[in-house]
Amino acid sequence: MEANEQQYELATFAGGCFWCMVKPFDEQPGIIKVVSGYTGGTTKFPTYEEVCSGATGHYEAVQITFDPVIFPYERLLTIFWQQIDPTDSGGQFYDRGGSYKTAIFYHHHKQKELAESSKKELEESGRFQKPIVTEILPAKEFYPAEEYHQHFYKKNPTRYYSYRTGSGRDDFLKQHWEVNDDEK
């Protein structure tokens, strides 16, 4: 076991299509790994097709292993909010349905407090005209997605960037968050 491994934590975020939620967190200092997967539902070991059907109750999500000393949870929350439309209760951008809704899955009480505080701060900022609907939920079993979904942005960069642009995500982020290309 590596010396710092005992202080690593997990963070789990659902932000619509998990392809778009890996790169913003990946390769940051203190981020150990980012895994695409499914969580929040009832089906054990679901497949992508099952999750997309809407029958499992799972969200597409990313689970991040991080060193909170190097990369605090608050920074993860900031990055998360800047990747999504937190006012959309029906999915994210082009992707519709429960599996594409946004949520923060907390792993312990402190994460819950920080998530609630960041949501309240965003609500009070006036950045959005509509209410913030992103849920804050207790973490449940996380099931890694199929291998072809892992680090999709590296494996299929052309398709990844076409999807981001075509889905409307990039235009929304630019309009509301002023996110530059390095942060997508």
d(CA 140, CA 147): 21
Q: Name the residue ranges covered by the structural domains of the chain.
A: 3-178
pLDDT of residue 179: 56
Look at residue 5 in the predicted model and tell me its pLDDT: 60
Over the Cα atoms of the chain, what is R_g?
15
* pLDDT, one tens digit for every residue, the chain (184 residues): 454 567 999 999 999 999 999 999 998 999 999 999 999 999 999 999 999 999 999 999 999 999 999 999 999 999 999 999 999 999 999 999 999 999 999 999 999 999 999 999 999 999 999 999 999 999 999 999 999 999 999 999 999 999 999 999 999 999 888 755 544 4
SS3 state of residue 138: strand
**CATH class belonging to 3-178:** alpha beta
DSSP one-letter string for 28-56: -TTEEEEEEEEESSS-SS--HHHHHHT-S
| Set 11, 14, 17, 51: catalytic member | 17
pLDDT score at 27: 83
Can 17 be counted among the known catalytic residues? yes
Alpha-carbon distance of 60 to 143, in angstroms, equals: 10
* pLDDT of the residue at 4: 52
